Structures are given as structure tokens and as C-alpha cells.
Amino acid sequence: MKRKICALMLALGLTAAVTGPAAAAAFTDVPSGAWYAEAAAAVSDGGIMNGTTTTTFSPDGQVTRGMVAAVLWRMAGSPAPKGGSSFADVEAWYFYADAVAWAEENGIAAGRSDGSFGGGDIVTREQLAVFLYRYSQYAGEELANGVLDIYSDVDSVHAWAREGMAHAVGAGLITGRDNGELDPSGPATRAQLAVILQRLMTPAVG
């Protein structure tokens, strides 16, 4: 019983990203002139990313692995997975259960070293870049090869994330901060994710 209660509390915390859709104008914590306001509207109206409540978007909230799997799954049209995932810590009733199963089947998401998925783990900017890289491979999109050496903290990008980060930078999905750093180990925020998803939703011109 204690395990079920803990699991329920975890799932309730993680489902903050899937509260029913709301018009962007209804988000009281998204100022109209914010750099992410248009993106928040686009992903909300498109049913890709929802508010944390019916009136809040929580732009500064941190992104989790379960959340990334869910939004990429929705970007792909919410395809039905062939079966459940292999991760023991992903209950069938979690909001991201089908998304994780789909992501695992298509090589977009892998588990942790202990065989769990860690849906509540916070996602760093370089981890998000890898997710995006694998999603682009799945979608058959042309892969980019951006230049990372222009960023002062390029050496902070882990070797396993270099290819993914180069793609994300080259495709214009992830950009450096105002101080000229990529901040690869910094946590990705919901505002950043919304902007990235809007860029994915916007066809390239030229």
C-alpha cells in the first residue's frame, strides 16, 4: 500500500505537464512580451505541451525525462506503441507510459544503467539535445552539424552528447546563452522546451 501511495504521489507530480489545454492568453504567468510567449501559445494550441494548471504554464519549471518523451510522442502524432516499455518504474497508468514505450521502440530514449527509466529525473540541456537528435533520426530529418567551438564552455559538453548538441545547435533548436555559453549541464526549462518545440513545428524556409 505504501508503495502504491508513493507511486501515486510521483505520478501526480509528473502529470503537472499534462493538465488540460488552455489558451496561451489564459496563462497568468506568461507575460505577453515574454521571449517564450509565442512558443507557449503555439505548443499549447497544438496540444503538444500543456499548462501545469488551467491558468499557469510554469515557464521556469524544470523539464523531466517523462515530459520530454511525452512531447516528442505528441509531435509524432501519438502513435500507438507495439507494447509496454521494459522499464519497471514506468507504470502503465503514468501519463507518459505510451510515450516511453514508443520512444524505447524507436531508439529515442534509453534507460539508466540500473534498467529504470527515471521519468522524474531533471533533463539537462545536453540531454535534451540528444533526445532531439534521436527524434530527428526517427523522423528521417536531415541532421545538422553545428559548430560548438564558438561557445566558451564547449569542453563542458560530454562526449556522448557532442553529436546531439552539434545537431541541435546546427538546426537552430538550441542556442547559447547571452554570456556565450551553451550551459550543457544546466537544467532545461519549460520555456526553453516550448521554444524548441515551436522551432520543430515550423518548417524551414529556403
Q: Which residues lie closer than 8 Å to 171 by C-beta, 6 or more apart?
A: 132, 136, 143, 144, 146, 199
Percentage of the chain with pLDDT > 70?
Answer: 86
The CA distance from 7 to 98, in Å, is: 17
Whole-number average pLDDT of the chain: 87
Query: Is residue 23 predicted with pLDDT exceeding 60?
Result: no
Mean pLDDT of 28-56: 94
- Predicted local distance difference test score (pLDDT) of residue 204: 55
In this prediction, residue 2 carries a pLDDT of 33
Over 50: is that where the pLDDT of 37 sits?
yes
Q: Which of 124, 110, 122, 196 is nearest to 156 (CA)?
A: 124
- Confidence category of residue 155, pLDDT binned at 50, 70, 90: very high
Whether 180 contacts 152, CB under 8 Å: yes
Q: How confident is the model at residue 25 (pLDDT cuts 50, 70, 90)?
A: low
pTM: 0.85
Q: How many angstroms from the chain centroid is the CA of residue 19?
A: 16
Residue 21: is its pLDDT beyond 70? no
- Determine the distance from the C-alpha atom of residue 29 to the mean position of all C-alpha atoms in its chain, rounded to a whole number: 20
Instruction: Identify the three-state secondary structure at position 164.
Output: helix
Burial of 147 (0-12, 13-18, 19+ CB in 10 A): exposed
Q: Which residues pair with 80 in a beta bridge?
A: none
